[in-house]
Each structure stands twice: as C-alpha cells, then as structure tokens.
Structure 1
Amino acid sequence: MLSSIGLLCCPLLWAQEVTITTEFSDSNAKSYSTQMQHWQLLLESAPQLQVKYVHVGMQRGFELLAQSGFCTINKLKTAERAARWLYSARPLNVSPSLRLITLGQSSPASVASGTVSSGQDQIDLQNWLRHPARRKIGIIAGSSYGAETDQLIKSRPNQFYLVHGQDVSLKLWQMLKRGRIDAIIDYPVRIDHLRQVQQDNTAYTALPLQGLPLHLKGFIVCNRETHGQQLMQYFNELMAQPAVQQRLVASYRQYFNESEWQQLQPYLQQTFSAAF
C-alpha cells in the first residue's frame, strides 16, 4: 500500500523522466495537436513527471522502445506488439475506426466534406483495389491497420505506397491532393484538423472499411525493462483516477456522431467505470 502511494505521489523517486516518441516534426506540431490532446490531459495530473520528446518515424519510434525510459502513445495493440512491449491497461485514446479517404465524392456513397458515411456503405478494400487494378493507397510505414487490412497490404504490396519519417499524415494528404495516390487510410478527425490548420478547403470522402470495429483504441506503450515497468504502473494508476477518466471520456465525444457515441457507451462504461 505504501509503495503504491509513494509511486503515485512521488514519481521523481523512481523515474525522473520519460521520453515520448512522436511521428511529427516540431515545425508541424500544430497540425498534429489532436494526437497529443489526451496525453496532455494525462500530464495535467502528473506535474512532477519530466517529459522529453523525440520526433521520428513510426518504425524508428518502436525501435527506440528498446532503450530505457522511452515510451510512445496512441498505438494500436496487436498480438505481435503486445508480446514485445508493455501496453497500458486502458487506452489513452478512443476514436472511430480508420477510413478510406478519397478526394471529392466517390461511389457508392455521396458524402459531404468532412462527413463519415454510414456503416451500410462499408468498403471491401480488396474489391476496391481491383477496380481499377492500378489503384494505389498511401499508408504510414510501420503502422497497423487491423489484422485483415495488414494481411491485404502484405499480399498486394504494389498497391500500397508506404511513407516513412515524420509528418507522414500530412505528406500523404498532400500526395492525395496532387493525384500521386488514389486514397489514404486515416482518421477523418485528423484530416479535418490538417485542413483547418492549413486553411485547406479540399473536399474529401471518408468511407468505413469492412473488417474494422466501430472504434479503435490507442494505448501508451513502453519497454519491459524496470524503468518501463515503473512508468507503465504510474500511467495505469493515473488513468485509474476518476477525474482523469472523466476528462478522457469527455474528450472522446468530439470524434463520434450521436449514433456512434451511443454504441460506444457499453465499452466506455466498462473500461472507464470511474467516470460514470
């Protein structure tokens, strides 16, 4: 009991700092502020924790987790990753699933700019890539898009354009606008924020993909060494606090329409029970 209290109250006794890897550069931090808002909410309850940031590509970010004191945030949980790294007990971020983003309005749905189509318009990505066969989708190197899509990427490497390094979402959006690729897989909320920051009125369509759940969860990930274990215990205790859970749940609301939000309630009430 005493050790638990000491860990929560006095992080400087066990871990003065954590280094967080991010996939955006300093110069484009504003464009990626939505990716950091839940982390910033968590830090409001951890004023003594000293945080450093390194701006690297996603693949390099996972490589750095092998070093003591490094963690990353907003990462999907896969069996392969969970076998190697420590994941937070609760997700830091809960958002609608990834969507297929194309320019303008595309069949089979007509969707206004920035609006996500309904579940009945789900896209079979394998069929979409066949018609026409030269279609190409831009994706982030090192990212996971769910088991079914990840397998499709492996089976059709010539139809997926992998982008490495920093500011990848911004680079992919620019490539899409220039006609270098036919679509990207990303979150509408991120595309909307990029457009807002850049004062970009380019219309787009966001279509849900078959095989993906209603929502995706992004976790904090650290290495399994002693420092990583201590950091993860601290993060887990922070996210168990009712006030933290209430702020996190309230922040997720902006991502979902009313119908999606109601469908999400059972999961939120189970996972963030202290918020209700």
Structure 2
Amino acid sequence: MLFPRLSLVAAFALLAQTAQGAPEAEPEVLWLRYELPPLYITEGPMQGRGVLDQALGRLLPRLKGLRHRIVTVPPKRLEASLRDLPNACAFGMLRNAERETFLTFSIPFPIHSAPGLMVREADLPRLSALRDAKGRLSLQGWLNDPDLKLGQAEGRAYGAAVDDLVAALPARRVERVSSQNPALNLLRMLERGRVDGVLMLPFEPRALAATHGVKLNGLRLLPLVEQPTARQGHVACSRSELGAEVIKRANVVLAEPQMQTGYSSGSRPSDRP
C-alpha cells in the first residue's frame, strides 16, 4: 500500500467529505501516523510491519461501515491534523489534559514502552544522588536544577506524569524540535552540549544507530522514577460526530482480551499474528 505524505492530507479530507455527501458512500476515516520504528514503520522493506502498524491492521477490518485510509504525516503535524480534520484518528495516542480539549479517546490498552532521559555519561557522577536503588532517575530532581536544559520532540507525549513536569517548565528550559526526525536531531544536540538531557523511548537510540549510524558511545538512557513501565495507549479521534462513532466502535474491539495483551516496542513484527 502506498502511504501518502502530508501534502495529500487536505486532498484526502476533501475526498472524504465528497464521499460522505453521496447517499450510499461509507464515511472515510484518515488514520494518521509517523515514522517511529519499531512501532510505526512507514518506509523501506519493513514498511507497514511495525508493532502498532500490525495492531491497527487487526482493528480496522472490525470497524464495519467505514472506509479507512492510512496517512503518514511529520510528527509536528500530527496533533494539528487531528485538530483540523474532522475525520482524522490516530492509534496508540497517549491521553493528557491538553489533548482532551480537542480529541475523543477510546478505552486504554497497554503499550510496554516507557520513556527515559538520555544524558551524557560524563554527567552521570553528579546524577548519582538523584537515582534510586534500581538506577531510575528522578526527573523532578533533575529538573530542579535551573541550569539544565531539556530536549524533546515537539508534539510528543510521554505519559501524564512526565508531561506534567515538562509543562511546568519555563519555555527557555525546553528545546522542542519539530524536524522530520526529531530524535536524531536531539541526540546530536545532546552530544554538542546544546541540551543536557533528552526525553526518548527506549527503542529510539537503537533504531537510530541501525538506520543512521548514530554512535551511542558516551550517552546513557536512564529510566525515570515517575514513569510506570507500561503506558496507556488509546485510539484518539477528532471531536466530531464521525470521531465519536469511530471511538464507540473501537471500544467494543479494544475490550476484547486479545487486544489488551499489550504492545511491546521490543517485539519483532513476527512475534504477533
């Protein structure tokens, strides 16, 4: 299947609206995603075989009476597209207070992937007092140092506890990157000393090392005290009549035991049916 880029999103929305105007046409739902291997793989020989790609592939045939189109967008445009397009949804979204103002969420399902803070190994000695017996870092304690600057991908959510801590920071303390591959840019900024720590999911450094030859020597990803090991993912849709209907139907499917077994970023595509 060909996954179009953001430049075609508006065209898809127009087509969907036209189709909905026809008496017998099924309404079209746009499922937005971006490159985030191994959860979503949007290009290359493994295209469409990410962990959440496959879970979405099991969900969509169960949502009868709807047409579905999967659209790839840059990370910085995901939330804006969900705001602007009344027929837009996303699979695997985290729920937070800001998103609740413009999105409707399904019941949760577990995603076994918790964010950590990537730091320079040279800084580890002065962080020892902030780490517990399991080696987890207190993000609150780290953020209490007014001289430290945090890097994160713009538009990304990391879980309610982490998001709330970051939201309380003054703008000058956070470097938000909105490029096509923000994780890659953030790692380079960390290496060059432009930021002091970067929020990342555990699979992102490995993926960047494999796909872009990033050298991880001298960097360390620390798990966080504030973040549980499993996050709650959701189907999220625009606040519209169609969005509410999609969520209603998705809830029936997501309540089934096989959809509640959890999705792990460490799983290979072949690990799940």
TM-score range, shorter chain: 0.5 to 0.7
Q: Name the counterpart of 2:240.
A: 225
CA contact (8 A) 1:97 1:215 kept: yes
Unaligned stretches of 5+ residues in structure 2 = 1-23, 268-273
What is the RMSD computed on CA atoms of the aligned residues? 3.6
Q: Distance in 1 between matches of 2:59 and 2:163?
A: 37
User: What letter matches 1:252 in structure 2?
Assistant: S
Displacement of 1:162: 1.0
> How much does 1:208 deviate?
2.2
- Greater helix percent: which structure? 1
Which string of whole-angstrom CA distances, capped at 9 and with x for unpartnered residues, describes residues 68-102 of structure 1?
210123322123423532112133x5123211112
* Corresponding residue of 1:137: 150
Q: What letter is aligned with 2:266?
A: Q
TM-score between the two structures when normalised by the length of structure 1:
0.66
Change (3 A) 1:69 1:96: same
- Give how far 1:244 is off: 4.2
Percent same amino acid among aligned pairs? 21
Q: Alignment partner for residue 46 of structure 1, among 49, 60, 83? A: 60
The Cα of 1:227 is off from its aligned counterpart by 1.2
Alignment of structure 1 residues 115-154 onto 2, 5 Å: 120-129=134-143, 133-145=146-158, 146-147=160-161, 149-154=163-168
Q: Is the 8 A contact 1:34 1:193 kept in 2?
A: no
* Unpaired segments ≥5 residues, structure 1: 1-12, 111-116, 256-276
The verdict on how the C-alpha distance between 1:163 and 1:200 changes in structure 2, with shifts beyond 3 A counting, is closer
Within a 5 Å distance, the mapping from 1:3-152 to structure 2 comes to: 15-24=26-35, 29-30=42-43, 36-44=50-58, 46-47=60-61, 49-58=67-76, 60-66=77-83, 67-91=85-109, 94-104=111-121, 106-107=124-125, 120-129=134-143, 133-145=146-158, 146-147=160-161, 149-152=163-166
Corresponding residue SS for 1:120: coil
Q: For 1:240-271, what per-residue CA distance to the aligned partner results, in whole angstroms no more than 9, with x for missing partners?
A: 3444445xx3x42837xxxxxxxxxxxxxxxx
One-letter code aligned to 1:99: G
- Give the structure 2 partner of residue 271 of structure 1: none
Report what 1:252 is aligned to. 264
Q: Distance in 2 between matches of 1:84 and 1:152?
A: 20
Alignment TM-score, normalising by the size of structure 2: 0.67
* Residue 219 (structure 1) shift: 1.7
Q: Measure, in 2, the Cα distance between the counterparts of 1:65 and 1:252.
A: 25
Distance 1:170-1:51 versus aligned 2 partners, 3 A rule: farther
